[in-house]
């Protein structure tokens, strides 16, 4: 249990969240790299915009390149998922990793975040380990739907509007 708490504290430090100072100091060598990294990671506005642009363009490029290998679901799953990860990571340059994680774990979008991350893991698992084309395609469809639902969580009232439109489209009562 203690190791899990230590690992959780390291993750908090890595993403820039405040850590409780109530615990006794741990081994200084284990936190020195992470502390130095957090102190030295102050980016200027220009650097943030450049990082965002590079990461976003790389993610978009991987996502578009995945269409070239669409007929090979395993390669498609890997490139599409990697493109999504890069695009998602690009916003961390703009708002910072701490705020990115805080926004992703907001009660409004916690389920969308969990489903999106789980669908990326499932897609990569199906593509890299299972090597089943049908399962990879199903996982990519799930990932795309989760990406859309996650993205809609940042637009006010978008998910309720899409839900109402979908219910209206698929309502079988006349």
84-117 pLDDT tens trace: 999 989 988 888 888 888 899 999 899 999 999 9
The answer on 93 and 160 residing in a single domain is yes
The range of the structural domain enclosing residue 142 comes to 45-170
Q: Are both 36 and 55 inside the same structural domain?
A: no
- Of the two residues 148 and 34, the one the predictor is more confident about is 148
Q: Are residues 128 and 96 in the same domain?
A: yes
Lowest mean pLDDT among 35-49, 83-97, 125-139, 141-155: 35-49
My answer on whether 15 and 80 are in the same domain is no
Alpha helices, DSSP H, located in the chain: 2-15, 28-40, 45-66, 73-95, 97-104, 110-125, 133-152, 158-170
pTM > 0.85: no
Both 59 and 140 in a single domain?
yes
Are residues 56 and 69 both part of a single domain? yes
- Number of domain units in the chain: 2
Taking a C-beta distance cutoff of 8 angstroms, is the pair 140, 123 a contact?
A: yes
Check residues 74 and 10 and name the one with the higher pLDDT.
Answer: 74
Q: Give the tens place of pLDDT for each residue, 3-59.
A: 766 766 766 665 555 555 545 445 545 455 545 655 666 778 898 899 999 999 999
- DSSP code, position 155: S
Dist. CA 78–CA 58, nearest whole Å? 14
Tell me how crowded residue 76 is: count the other CB atoms within 10 A of its CB: 22
Whether residue 32 is found in the same domain as residue 88: no
Q: Is the same domain home to 105 and 80?
A: yes
**68 and 147 within one domain:** yes
Q: What is the pLDDT of residue 33?
A: 57
Residues 57 and 74 reside in one and the same domain: yes
Same domain, 144 and 105: yes
């Amino acid at each position: 249990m203690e190791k899990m708490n230590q690992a959780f504290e390291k993750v908090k430090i890595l993403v820039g969240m405040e850590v409780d100072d109530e615990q006794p100091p741990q081994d200084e060598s284990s936190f020195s790299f992470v502390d130095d990294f957090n102190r030295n990671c102050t980016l200027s506005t220009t650097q943030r915009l450049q990082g965002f642009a590079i990461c976003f363009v790389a993610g978009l490029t991987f996502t578009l390149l995945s269409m070239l290998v669409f007929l090979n679901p395993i390669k498609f799953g890997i490139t599409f998922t990697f493109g999504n990860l890069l695009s998602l990571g690009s916003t961390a340059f703009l708002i910072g990793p701490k705020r990115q994680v805080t926004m992703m774990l907001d009660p409004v979008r916690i389920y969308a975040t969990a489903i999106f991350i789980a669908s990326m893991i499932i897609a990569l698992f199906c593509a890299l380990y299972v090597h089943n084309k049908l399962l990879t395609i199903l996982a990519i469809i799930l990932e795309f739907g989760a990406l859309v639902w996650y993205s809609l969580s940042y637009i006010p009232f978008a998910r309720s509007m899409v839900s109402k439109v979908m219910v209206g489209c698929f309502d079988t009562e006349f």
